[in-house]
Amino acid sequence: MSSTTKSVSALMPGELSDSGQRRAMLAEIDASCRAPVLFFVISGLAWLLVGTLLALVTSIKLHHSGFLSAWEFLTFGRVRPAHLNAVIYGFASQTGIAVTIWLMCRLCRVPLVSGGLIVLAAIFWNLGLTIGLVGILAGDSTAIEWLELPGYSTPILFFSYALVAVWSIITFRLRRESHLYVSQWYLLGAILWFPWLYATAQIMLILEPVRGTVQAAINWWFAHNVLGLWFTPIGLAAIYYFIPKVIGRPIHSYYLSVLGFWSLALFYNWNGLHHLIGGPMPAWMITVSVVASVMMLIPVITVAINHHFTMVGHFGKLRYSPTLRFVVVGAFCYTATSLQGVANSLRSYSEIVHFTHHTIAHAHLGVYGFFTMVMFGSLYYIIPRISGREWPSLGLISLHFWGCFLGLVLYVVPLSYGGILQGLAMNDATVPFMKVVEGTLPWLKLRTLAGLLMALGHVAFVGNLVWLLARVFGPYRKPVVAILSGTETPAVAGK
């Protein structure tokens, strides 16, 4: 292998010199992914709609407390965890797994093997989650944040996950590409980190609960890492894949990608206990996490330079590629939410915002602004390729993007600001508590409006997908939109 091709495969995902051979291989891989990936995508998006509905109910309840309050199963304290688990384990995880499977096949250059295993995994995942969510609404929530699913449902999820992990390792072993592109490092990390996190949390918190505040330590070690070591690496892997792919330009720097990955692996997993600042924990535990959170500046800035500098000079392409538009917004939100996260982890700032709606805004900037937007962008690229059909409606794509984007801005900006005001008022003991509550109402109402915009975007997206799928199973028609999802043509000028 000459040094030229080596550097190309290090910087561009899945490049081959012979474009005819390359196209045939990609088409074979995409076709092999069709049923398993679509199964995960469709279930993920079904949960997105369920989760969105639960979110709206939750949000309305916070400013109209009497709303749907007569039924026990719809009380705020049940709908809220049901929302979280539906979007985290139903939508985000399943869509993330779908994107992971497709990226693994593409980057390893192997058609998907044992698709039946993946479909089986998806069936079990949805089964476990449905049982768990009904359990939460019926009152069996564990009340451990991010782990509310009752103990009788989680082994089913874990079994399903094990199938996905085993499949991923097999695919990784079968790889025909010797060079591991940066996206693969992140994907392999996510696949191996998640079961360890989940098993530890399930065993030590739910099956055989440890005593006292050790629970809180493990709870936040898990909850922060499920973001940092499960969603973040999948999201970053997708950004690293799609930005160069769509704009046809190599990533800015290979060395920064190495530094970014290993510094994330080293520091992120020590972050979690900053959630307990001011709490009944030994100071060293919290301090260690605060230090690690500040160290996150290294991977965050590194990855930001790498992503954003790759884009420089190509922003015009945002107009034509929905993939790029969603992924680039996601990449910016990653930078923003990470910097906000560093600030939140400082004792002086946490003292104000810790128990406020600011934290909720921060969580949505991360999981929605970053991860969800990147997943939407990825699906705009993947689905036409595995289904052989283009997206039927440009208008619905625009509606999806602007609904989600404006919803996101309207959600995060006012609620972050309102949260700070709430925290300042709460720390001032001369302000009556009811005044603090009243002060949050305008921001909470704006949040419901933001949620409606997001819901509109989601419905547009799902509508477009249903339309597309109807064409897959109906007679073939000439695609309305041909260039939407960017180009497969390699354009590595100068390398």
Partner 1 sequence: MKYGPLLFLGILFTLASSWVGLVLAPYKQLGNLLPNPATNAVGGVSYLPEARRGEAQQGAEHYRSLGCVYCHSQQVRPAGFGGDIDRGWGKRRSVSRDYVHERPVMLGTSRTGPDLTNIGERQSDYSWHYTHLYNPQITSKGSVMPPYPFLFEKRRVGLGGVSTNALKLVGEFSPGEGWEVVPTDAARQLVEYLRSLKSSYDLPEAPLPKTAGEAETATAVQ
Contact positions with partner 1 (CB under 8 A) in 387-446: 426-429, 433-434, 437-438, 440-441
Site for partner 1 in 30-89 (CB under 8 A): 61-63, 65-66, 69-72, 75-78, 80-81
Torsion region of 493: left, alpha or beta (phi above 0 gives left; psi -120 to 50 gives alpha): beta
Give the nearest distance from C-beta 347 to partner 1 in angstroms.
Answer: 8
Q: Is 420 exposed, middle or buried (0-12, 13-18, 19+ CB in 10 A)?
A: middle
What is the distance between the terminal CA atoms of the chain, rounded to a whole angstrom? 14
Q: For residue 279, state whether it binds partner 1 (rule: CB under 8 A).
A: yes
Site for partner 1 in 149-178 (CB under 8 A): 172, 178
Q: For residue 27, state whether it binds partner 1 (rule: CB under 8 A).
A: no
Give the nearest distance from C-beta 369 to partner 1 in angstroms.
Answer: 20
Q: For residue 482, state whether it binds partner 1 (rule: CB under 8 A).
A: no
Interface with partner 1 by CB under 8 A: which range of 85-93, 202-210, 335-343, 364-372?
202-210
- Which one of residues 14, 51, 115, 189 is an interface residue with partner 1 (CB under 8 A)? 189
User: Which CB, 97 or 360, lies closer to partner 1?
Assistant: 360
Give the nearest distance from C-beta 267 to partner 1 in angstroms.
Answer: 9
205-239 in b/e form (b: 16+ CB < 10 A) is bbeeeeeeeebbbbbbbbbbbbbbbbbbbbbbbbb
Displacement of CA 156 from its chain's centroid (Å): 22
Q: For residue 179, state whether it binds partner 1 (rule: CB under 8 A).
A: yes
245, two tokens: 């792919």
Q: In sequence order, which residues have a C-beta less than 8 Å from that of residue 267 and are 6 or more positions away?
A: 292, 295, 296, 298, 299
User: Which CB, 183 or 378, lies closer to partner 1?
Assistant: 183
Q: For residue 364, state whether it binds partner 1 (rule: CB under 8 A).
A: no
Q: For residue 216, state whether it binds partner 1 (rule: CB under 8 A).
A: yes
Site for partner 1 in 103-132 (CB under 8 A): none
Give the nearest distance from C-beta 479 to partner 1 in angstroms.
Answer: 38
Q: For residue 212, state whether it binds partner 1 (rule: CB under 8 A).
A: yes
Q: For residue 229, state whether it binds partner 1 (rule: CB under 8 A).
A: yes
* HSE-up (13 A, CA, CB side) for residue 224: 24
Q: For residue 196, state whether it binds partner 1 (rule: CB under 8 A).
A: yes
Give, as one character, the DSSP assignment of residue 494. T
Of 334, 353, 118, nearest in space to 227 by CA: 334
Q: For residue 276, state whether it binds partner 1 (rule: CB under 8 A).
A: yes
Displacement of CA 260 from its chain's centroid (Å): 18
Q: For residue 293, state whether it binds partner 1 (rule: CB under 8 A).
A: no
Q: For residue 204, state whether it binds partner 1 (rule: CB under 8 A).
A: yes
Interface with partner 1 by CB under 8 A: which range of 12-20, 120-128, 137-145, 466-474?
137-145
| φ, ψ at 461 (rounded to 5°) | -65, -50
Q: For residue 5, state whether it binds partner 1 (rule: CB under 8 A).
A: no
Q: In sequence order, which residues have a C-beta less than 8 Å from that of residue 252 and are 6 or more positions away?
A: 305, 306, 307, 309, 310
Q: For residue 145, state whether it binds partner 1 (rule: CB under 8 A).
A: yes
Q: For residue 273, state whether it binds partner 1 (rule: CB under 8 A).
A: yes
Q: How far apart are CA 334 and CA 240, in angstroms?
A: 13
